[in-house]
Amino acid sequence: MKKRMALCTAIPEKQLEEIGRYCDIAVCGELKHGKGRAEEKTTREECMGCELVVLGDETAQADTIHAWARSGMKFLGVAKGTPVTVSFEALREEGLSLSYTPGRNAVAVAEFTIGMMISIARSLSLSSAGLWRGEHLGEPVGDIYQVPDVKNVIWGPLDEKHPFTDYGIGFELYGKVLGIAGYGAIGRQVAQRAAAFGMEVLAYDPYCPAQEMEKNGVACAGLEEMLGRSDIVSIHLPVLPATRGIVDRTWFEKMKPSAYLVNTARAAVIHQRDLVEALERGRIRGAALDVFWQEPLPANHPLLKMRNVLPTPHMAGLTTDVDGWSGRIMAGEILAYLRGEPRKHLWKLE
């Protein structure tokens, strides 16, 4: 007799066919209703009575977990790199494990992080937005396709009206020092790509052995050394009681005044007021931020008025490829459970 499985996130067709040999699959949650369109109550009702429940971005707090466990749930999977959308306490109380998908968007976030670094180094977003706003443009011409015969086409004399004067001429990543706070799946991917740009990479992670970093060509550094030497500090920390607000004034005081902060992790690890003050007072040169303390970002947030801040709307971890990576990892967890084999990706609930 087949087991019942509630599926709320995409699984590649090949693996889904194999899972279907063991399970009757009910499509539920956001996979059924669309992204952001499945409230917890709806998901709870749809997944009742299933031995396996596989979530994506759906929320499952304590009441939901207990209800599912009472109705026969024995496997819970959350297709996220950090499955904070479910109640760990309730899972512990029910004696259940939690499968998740670490590294599913590591490449996506790492590439985005490198893109942010290039953008702040060369003022790409600032200068591009300036042209869209009409800054530093010439007078309208009658025929844009009739151009003068000039060998050396340039923007004009380097004076107070020149874009370089306004936006700055930037710097190269080559030869600069990148500090990585948190040498996990994403931090490692960022380090690998930064090394390809010729950057020296320092990593601070008290929970990662030095030899693990050094075998990848990354120097293990203490917090003060990493902050004090880095031209760019990239944050890759999870939100835990020990990390909430950890990136605060004490960090900014140790950084170079010419240094930039990049955060594609979670805003909660940064002390909001301390960051705003550090940027306002020139304690650090600038920041590139993909995540915020409230999302959408409030329209009156002071960061939006700062030319030394590159904000993006929480885009780093989502590409057309991420669901595929996530689905493959989760499919492996599901099949391991169905075959009675050890699962590889279990979240530490303690």
Tokens 């151009």 belong to residue: 147
Q: Cα separation of 335 and 327, whole Å?
A: 12
| 193 annotated active-site | no
Residues 6+ apart with CB under 8 A from 188: 106, 216
Give the three-state DSSP class for 157: coil
Query: How many other CB atoms are found less than 10 A from the CB of residue 198?
Result: 11
Set 66, 314, 343, 345: catalytic member: 314
Set 266, 271, 285, 333: catalytic member: 266
What one-character-per-residue DSSP string does 176-220 give? -EEEEE--SHHHHHHHHHHHHTT-EEEEE-TTS-HHHHHTTT-EE
Nearest CA to 47 out of 22, 11, 75 is that of: 75
Set 224, 295, 307, 341: catalytic member: 295
Give the three-state DSSP class for 247: strand
| 314 annotated active-site | yes
Q: Cα separation of 159 and 80, whole Å?
A: 51
Residues 6+ apart with CB under 8 A from 71: 48, 49, 50
Tokens 């939100």 belong to residue: 239
Instruction: Kindly report the backbone phi and psi dihedral angles of residue 343, in degrees, each rounded to the nearest multiple of 5, phi listed first.
Output: -85, 145
Query: How many other CB atoms are found less than 10 A from the CB of residue 69?
Result: 18
| 40 annotated active-site | no
Query: How many other CB atoms are found less than 10 A from the CB of residue 54?
Result: 29
**Which residue numbers are catalytic?**
266, 295, 314
